[in-house]
Amino acid sequence: MFPRSRRCRLDRFCRLLMPLLVVSAVLPWHRSAVAADAESSLPGAPMLLPQDTLAYIRIADVQDIREGFGRTSMGRMMQDPQMKPFVSDVYGVLDESFQEISAVIGVELGELLNIPQGQVALALVPQLMPEPDPDQEVRDDDDDESEEAIKRRLAQKRRQQNGFAFVLIVDAKDNIETINRLLEKFETQLAKDRLIRRDATIDGTKLVRWLPPRVGRPPVEYFVRDGAMAIGVGQDTAGSVLKRWVKEDTSPSFANNNDFTSVLSRSVGAEETMPQLTFFVDPYHIVERIIKANGGAAALAWPLIEQLGISKIRGIGGSTFQGGEFFDDISHLHIVIDTPRDGFFGVLRPSTGDTVPPAWVPADATSYMTVHWDFPQTLENLGKILDKFNGEGSVDRFMEEPLQKRTGISLQNEILPLSTGRMVSVRWLEPPMRINSQINCFAFEVNDRDQATEVFDRLVKRFPNAMKPVVIAGTMTYDLNRNRNQKLPEGLRRPEPTLFQLGNWIVFCDSQAFIQRMVQTNAGVLPGLDGEPEYGLVSGELGGKLDGEQPFMISYVRGSDYFRQMFELTKNPSTRQFLRRVGEDNVLARKFVDLLERDELPEFSQFEKYFGAGGMFAYDESGGIHIGTFTLKPLE
């Protein structure tokens, strides 16, 4: 090991350099002044990474994603003449704050943001055992045969065999000189920390490797070729990328990984909405390596966990696209799960049913979501898992009996038989706008309202002091707030947790003002969400995206509400006072509040035209679960 001070300096530089290169690719509000060259010779990252890559995120073309952002609601709003001065000043504040970092890395903020011009990819791969170099020092205790030394060496070997390595690929094209300057600074720091440089040439390209002074720590590797750079931490990381690029290594690549291709094939949209960003995670093998690397009780329990089918999750991945003609953005998430779905995955039991908003959902709801779930089957399969660890009857001991003793109500004989399996979640922004203005409402549908009323009444009688009766718009509700007299900081909404029955629904809501709107909407006094034009558009698109699949979840979001909240909060004196207090210890926060006072933002009503509604859906299929989200272009 080299001295802690040197390790800290090197680690800080590595932690600074690699994230900055990634962030520079995804700061979409910065438009590059450099036009993209002809198509790059750099192959797609899946062709350059090993087949057993554990996690991966890739931007196909940074220029494309930047231009796409410019066509989104946020991008168009930021280009609005009334917003441009504020956006320019924000960039100025960031540029000024970046000067300290710039002095370390030798690159200005504008230059850094301009680096990526094509593909950018970051990957987590299995760590290979490092090959010792004659100039590296060997640990002093390698000849120590004491029990403690042997345990320490075995633990170190276990960590090395199950560790992780990282590789970053950036296509900079004509901006490769900026990367070269970054690498020069990087090399200077590595040399100061006494790392050992080793150069190799592969197909005319220099591969640079920096080895730690002592055996055991991973090397740093990088190369620059045809306007692109790859840098990795770990044995044969950048080297493997280069060898695949020049076809010296013809072994199967990540593009040949069946789990990755399964996920990707389910995450590609129509031609005009081809993914700009794709990602993939192999959670099973990541967790497996972490547990085996650390040993202990978790490693002993791992075989039992595997018996419960944890290995059936073969991958999670997806894609995003933004800036289309009809869609602001589209995202897909796909989870590949092997059949039969038992063990751990036996608890995943979505079902299907009605998705139309109930009559009590107001038209001005900020969001609406409905989910269908087979709760009895989920509980049965959960019991099988618990029984393996705790013996038979686990559900009765840990859930049924405690609930019945506490409430006098049976989970398995009363609650579950009453449930239709449908849940609804509604959110609304309660005026005046505050940090916690968002209210939450959760409702569960029952199949027998009279029986539900009888069970509900028993619950009220059981807890008369905890459930205070309150009549709202002619409906009996029960206030659950035990801290009614608690003093809240100025500018915060006081939550009002309330439980009540509305027809065939058992509802929990934390705003009595919204409960009044719900009751009035249910009575037809206020318009409902089902008749809202934007909801109709989203619902129609949801049907098209499902392509005949039956969803277990759909949602609707009025995105402009969240931006309105942000705008109004920035104008709120209490928000600015809070930022000033934060700014006493945070220079960036202080500069931001100064900026807000200097460039007063216009009213949000002038920007509402840029925002459309969005939706989300999820459906279950034999090979896994698919989730999709989208935001529509606003109505003209």
Choose among 161, 162, 166, 157: nearest CA to 125. 166
Residues 284 and 308 sit within 8 Å (Cβ to Cβ): no
Choose among 178, 65, 70, 173: nearest CA to 117. 173
* Final residue before a domain boundary, out of 256, 276, 293: 256
Residue 592 lies in a domain: no
DSSP string, 308-373: TTGGGEEEEEEEEEE--SSEEEEEEEEEEEPSS--GGGGG--B-----SPPTTSBTT-SEEEEEEB
Query: Looking at the structure, do residues 59 and 171 belong to the same domain, yes or no?
Result: yes
Residues 423 and 442 sit within 8 Å (Cβ to Cβ): yes
Residue 596 lies in a domain: no
DSSP string, 577-635: HHHHHHHTT-HHHHHHHHHHHHSPPPPGGGTGGG--EEEEEEEEETTEEEEEEEEEPPP
Residue 586 lies in a domain: no
Query: Looking at the structure, do residues 221 and 270 belong to the same domain, yes or no?
Result: no
Our count of domains for the chain comes to 3
The helix/strand/coil state of 552 is strand
Choose among 430, 406, 409, 426: nearest CA to 418. 409
pLDDT score for 5:
46
Query: Looking at the structure, do residues 211 and 299 belong to the same domain, yes or no?
Result: no
Query: Looking at the structure, do residues 173 and 268 belong to the same domain, yes or no?
Result: no
Q: Report the alpha-carbon distance of residue 575 to residue 570 in Å, rounded.
A: 6
Task: Tell the burial category of 385 from Cβ atoms under 10 Å away from its Cβ (0-12, 13-18, 19+).
Answer: middle
Query: Looking at the structure, do residues 351 and 468 belong to the same domain, yes or no?
Result: yes
Choose among 104, 247, 230: nearest CA to 179. 230
Query: Looking at the structure, do residues 249 and 329 belong to the same domain, yes or no?
Result: no
Query: Looking at the structure, do residues 393 and 415 belong to the same domain, yes or no?
Result: yes
Residue 418 lies in a domain: yes
Query: Looking at the structure, do residues 319 and 202 belong to the same domain, yes or no?
Result: no
Tokens encoding 292: 């085996």
DSSP 528: B
Query: Looking at the structure, do residues 611 and 508 belong to the same domain, yes or no?
Result: yes
**Side chain identity, residue 240:** S
**Cα 166 → chain centroid:** 20
Compute how many other C-beta atoms are within 10 angstroms of the C-beta atom of residue 265: 9
Q: Report the alpha-carbon distance of residue 596 to residue 135 in Å, rounded.
A: 57
The helix/strand/coil state of 204 is coil
Query: Looking at the structure, do residues 388 and 273 belong to the same domain, yes or no?
Result: no
Residue 593 lies in a domain: no
Choose among 45, 42, 617: nearest CA to 280. 45
Q: Report the alpha-carbon distance of residue 459 to residue 467 in Å, rounded.
A: 9
**Residue carrying structure tokens 């799960």:** 337
The helix/strand/coil state of 548 is coil
Residue 594 lies in a domain: no
Task: Tell the burial category of 15 from Cβ atoms under 10 Å away from its Cβ (0-12, 13-18, 19+).
Answer: exposed
Q: Report the alpha-carbon distance of residue 237 to residue 18 in Å, rounded.
A: 14
**Side chain identity, residue 35:** A
Residue 316 lies in a domain: yes
Query: Looking at the structure, do residues 327 and 379 belong to the same domain, yes or no?
Result: no
pLDDT score for 575:
76
pLDDT score for 29:
44
Choose among 548, 597, 550, 553: nearest CA to 571. 597
Residue segments in the chain with a per-residue pLDDT below the cut of 70: 1-39, 138-144, 269-273, 484, 636
DSSP string, 417-460: HHEEEEEEEEEEEPSSP-TT-EEEEEEEEES-HHHHHHHHHHHH
Compute how many other C-beta atoms are within 10 angstroms of the C-beta atom of residue 375: 17
Tokens encoding 623: 């090979």
Residue 597 lies in a domain: no
The helix/strand/coil state of 379 is helix
Phi, psi (degrees; rounded to nearest 5) at 357: -55, 135
State the residue range of the domain holding 515. 339-579+606-632
Choose among 386, 446, 399, 161: nearest CA to 289. 161
For 326, residues 6+ apart whose C-beta sits below 8 A from its C-beta are 632, 633
Compute how many other C-beta atoms are within 10 angstroms of the C-beta atom of residue 5: 9
Compute how many other C-beta atoms are within 10 angstroms of the C-beta atom of residue 34: 13
* Final residue before a domain boundary, out of 303, 338, 373: 338
Query: Looking at the structure, do residues 93 and 106 belong to the same domain, yes or no?
Result: yes
Helix (H) or strand (E) holding 502: strand 498-502
Q: Tell me: the pLDDT tens digits for 48-85?
A: 999 999 999 999 999 999 999 888 888 889 899 988 88
For 183, residues 6+ apart whose C-beta sits below 8 A from its C-beta are 222, 224, 229
For 97, residues 6+ apart whose C-beta sits below 8 A from its C-beta are 587, 588, 591
For 181, residues 6+ apart whose C-beta sits below 8 A from its C-beta are 106, 107
pLDDT score for 636:
63
* Final residue before a domain boundary, out of 214, 235, 256: 256
pLDDT score for 144:
67
Q: Tell me: the pLDDT tens digits for 514-559?
A: 999 999 999 999 999 999 999 999 999 988 888 889 999 999 999 8
